[in-house]
């Protein structure tokens, strides 16, 4: 499994919005600039995040994006899976019929267990935790002199 660029950018977007806080309107260009996401790509990503009820898109000259869920109730797993689908380390985990050897394969159980462990680990990390310590924020968030971006 490899994280897609869309998933990486979605994580950056949610981290940035979580850093700004739930309910805070942030303009598209600010997120694009501060999180290093190309504007057109950001516009596509936020559609997926809005459909998953993480954010609200506000149109118009005073528009932008608003985080509508508490960062402590959004997990890294949720955002990743919104963008790439359910995490599975091998095709046979999600579609056992894809491999004729699945019923007797000695490695199939390893892929199932590893997938479950990865999903469990990512499911235990919230965006509130990712933003809790400003000194540990990802380098893509530019810090202003006031400590807020």
Ranges of beta strands (E only) in 49-139 are 55-58, 64-67
* CA separation, residue 127 to residues 2, 17, 100, 137, 145 (Å): 21, 10, 40, 11, 23
Checking if the pLDDT of 134 tops 70, the result is no
Q: Give me the pLDDT at residue 90, please.
A: 76
Q: What is the mean predicted confidence (pLDDT) over 80-108?
A: 80
* Among 36, 129, 147, CA closest to 74: 129
Residues 138 and 132: their CA atoms lie apart, in Å, by 12
**And the tokens for 81?**
């899976």
For each of the domains in the chain, give its residue range(s) and CATH number, in order of start.
Answer: 5-86+126-136 (1.10.10.10)
**In the chain, what percentage of residues exceed pLDDT 90?**
64
Checking if the pLDDT of 15 tops 70, the result is yes
**And the tokens for 85?**
């689908």
- The whole-angstrom distance between residue 2's C-alpha and the CA centroid of its chain comes to 14
């Amino acid at each position: 499994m490899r994280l897609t660029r869309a998933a990486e950018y979605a994580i950056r977007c949610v981290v940035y919005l979580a850093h700004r806080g739930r309910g805070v309107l942030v303009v598209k260009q600010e997120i694009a600039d501060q999180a290093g996401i190309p504007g057109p790509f950001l516009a596509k990503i936020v559609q997926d995040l809005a459909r998953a009820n993480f954010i609200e898109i506000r149109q118009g000259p005073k528009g932008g994006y608003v985080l509508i869920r508490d960062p402590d109730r959004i997990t890294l797993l949720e955002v990743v899976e919104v963008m790439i689908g359910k995490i599975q380390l091998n095709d046979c985990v999600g579609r056992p019929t894809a491999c004729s050897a699945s019923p007797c394969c000695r490695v199939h159980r390893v892929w199932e267990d590893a997938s479950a462990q990865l999903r469990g680990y990512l499911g235990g990390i919230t965006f509130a935790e990712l933003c809790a310590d400003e000194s540990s924020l990802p380098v893509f968030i530019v810090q202003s002199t006031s400590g807020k971006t």
